[in-house]
Amino acid sequence: MIVFVALLRAINVGGTGTLSMKELSAWCTNLGLVKVRTYIQSGNIVFESRLSEEVVRNKLEQMLAKNIGKRVGVVVRTASDLRSVLEANPFPDAQPEKIAVVFQSGPLPERLLDNLVIPGGEEIRPGKREIYIHYPDGMGRSKLKLPSLMGTATARNINTVAKLVAMTAT
């Protein structure tokens, strides 16, 4: 069995995509996912499966579309991948609540940072399938606009990433 983390896009954020985590857990269990648990109300799921990352993502997206009635983007990482994302944090000395990781479903565009305007003091570092952003003045004050990414992208702060990594170990 492989331990996975699924990150749902736009769930219980800003009054959109309201979904009970208890209900989400039940739906995931009905899909055949094992040891399903969620973290906070923003659509973070830790589970085990024998299926591949791509198959798990497709099944979750289909299940969510059926049960919610609209498409919900899903990004999936193995526990090992997520641990590597946390360890690769390029801003280890920054306040954790001021670091975001934007998870991309596929590879990052090669020219991601070309022509990017950084209006504040934000710092951006690309990872493999992630973008790390340090918001020295906080995320809520930032006017940073990332270019359109291919596929699904969703952000989590580094504290959430750390908690999810810890959950994969249990």
Instruction: Supply the CATH number for residue 40's domain.
Output: 3.30.70.1280
The candidate with the shortest Cα–Cα distance to 124, out of 110, 137, 109, 113, is 113
Helices (H), the chain: 21-30, 53-68, 79-87, 158-168
Mean pLDDT across the chain: 89
Please report the pLDDT score of residue 16 as a whole number.
55
* Residue where a domain stops, chosen among 49, 80, 111: 80
Residue 15 has pLDDT above 70, yes or no: no
Same structural domain, 98 and 153: yes
* Residue where a domain stops, chosen among 49, 64, 80: 80
The candidate with the shortest Cα–Cα distance to 44, out of 75, 88, 71, 66, is 75
CA dist., res. 63 & res. 43, Å (int): 14
CA dist., res. 75 & res. 142, Å (int): 24
* Residue where a domain stops, chosen among 80, 104, 137: 80
Same structural domain, 62 and 110: no
CA dist., res. 131 & res. 124, Å (int): 7
Same structural domain, 150 and 161: yes
Token readout for 167 is 């959950």
Same structural domain, 25 and 90: no
For 91, the domain range is 83-168
Q: What is the pLDDT of residues 39-89, one digit of tens each?
A: 988 789 999 999 999 999 999 999 999 988 888 889 999 999 999 999 999
Same structural domain, 109 and 40: no
Q: What is the pLDDT of residues 103-152, one digit of tens each?
A: 998 888 887 777 787 888 899 999 999 999 999 988 888 888 877 666 78
Number of structural domains in the chain: 2
